[in-house]
Amino acid sequence: MNKIVKVESPGRINLIGEHVDYNGGSVLPGAIDKKVEFIIENIKGSKCFIDSETINKKFEFELSSLEKSNQHWQNYILGTINNIINKRNLKISAFSCKINSSLPIGAGISSSSALISGLAAGLIEINNLQIKKSEIVDIVSDVEHNYIGLKGGIMDQFTILHGQKNKLVHLECHSRNFKYVNAEFNDYQIILLNTNVEHNLANTAYNDRVEECRYALDIINNKYSNKFSYLCEVDSTILESFKVNLDAKVFNRASFVINENLRTYEAAKKLNEFKLVEIGNLMYQSHAGLKDLYEVSCNELDFLVDLTKPYDQIIGSRMMGGGFGGCTINLIHKKFKDEFLDIAHKSYFEKFRIDVTPIEISISDGVKIKNLQTG
């Protein structure tokens, strides 16, 4: 009998700590109840069959031919399998896979990492491979870097694999040490507002930021005999002393990164102390930095964040994820939610002629695998 597994792989939110993961900083994300689901079945032969019900597309391929495809979405799958077989030297059997997702694509809640992480975890399980979660994080990162072309950090994959119900993951990306923090917001709830825009060249602009940070680190390290492994290790007074040596743009990028990392530690502390208003202030500061110093926001995101500012019933708001579109994350009083969503919908439509989509989430467990049939 063939083996069959069902995999549920969630998206993620990030309360604060944006664009710091690839700079060795700390982040405060959580897995969510919206997810990609897979049914994977081991089959005979060497041909694999993929059927995505979400985008209504199918494709098949041989395990021995995993070259990049000109169909972008297929590369998420081909890259994952190529990595397991050719980079890790592991054997997997042919399989068929049905994919179904409730994660909006391009909303900045990590549908692509959920896809790759879930597939990797499912294939590892069904083939009885002994691979730890931290190694899956590396597999997924590698696929994103080399097959998809996004030189991202580890926040998304790590959260998708380690998430826990009602907990945020305070992860230090340089060491991968992490602590769970209660995601307890009392009368407030996290609501995402999807701008439904995804500006062109987001990947290129993202990779440019990675380069600019690396450049800032190199300049600082030149004077400090390579003391720092990551930009987040540099303290603000050292950075200040480079104000004249660094191009203003690069200085701003570094300044944002270093301060965003400090804000994340502060927010994790405030969450433990249940000081929600302070967390909200940190979220607004984060947005201001992402907009003015890191320059990864856009008019649609700024508009939605500004819209929340007059209301005491909203504690905090900021853009979330890579930027250039996607969602804002908001902490809104439960009783004010409906009224505000109405306001947001009307004002956003009036301004951009686009519908904003609210996404209500709860913080949930990371990847779950269930054996439906053992071979």
Applying CB under 6 A, which residues contact ligand GLA? 18-19, 21-22, 110, 152-153, 155-156, 321-322
Which token pair is 67? 């070259």
Distance, CA of 232 to CA of 229 (rounded, Å): 9
Q: Active site residue: 33, 142, 156, 218, which one?
A: 156
Distance, CA of 212 to CA of 151 (rounded, Å): 13
Q: Find the shortest distance in angstroms from Cβ 185 to ligand GLA.
A: 21
Burial string for 356-366 (b: 16+ CB within 10 Å, else e) reads bbbbebebbbb
* DSSP label of 23: G
SS3 305: helix
Q: Find the shortest distance in angstroms from Cβ 94 to ligand GLA.
A: 30
Contact call for residues 101 and 111 (beta carbons, < 8 A): yes
- Is 156 one of the annotated active-site residues of the chain? yes
Distance, CA of 151 to CA of 8 (rounded, Å): 25
Q: List the beta strands (DSSP E) in 307-375.
A: 314-319, 325-333, 357-360, 368-373
Q: Quick one: 137 or 363, whose CB is closer to ligand GLA?
A: 137
Q: Find the shortest distance in angstroms from Cβ 348 to ligand GLA.
A: 23
Q: Find the shortest distance in angstroms from Cβ 338 to ligand GLA.
A: 29
Distance, CA of 174 to CA of 154 (rounded, Å): 10
**Sheet with 177-182, side-by-side order of all strands:** 26-27, 167-172, 177-182
Q: Find the shortest distance in angstroms from Cβ 45 to ligand GLA.
A: 35
Q: Which residues are catalytic?
A: 156
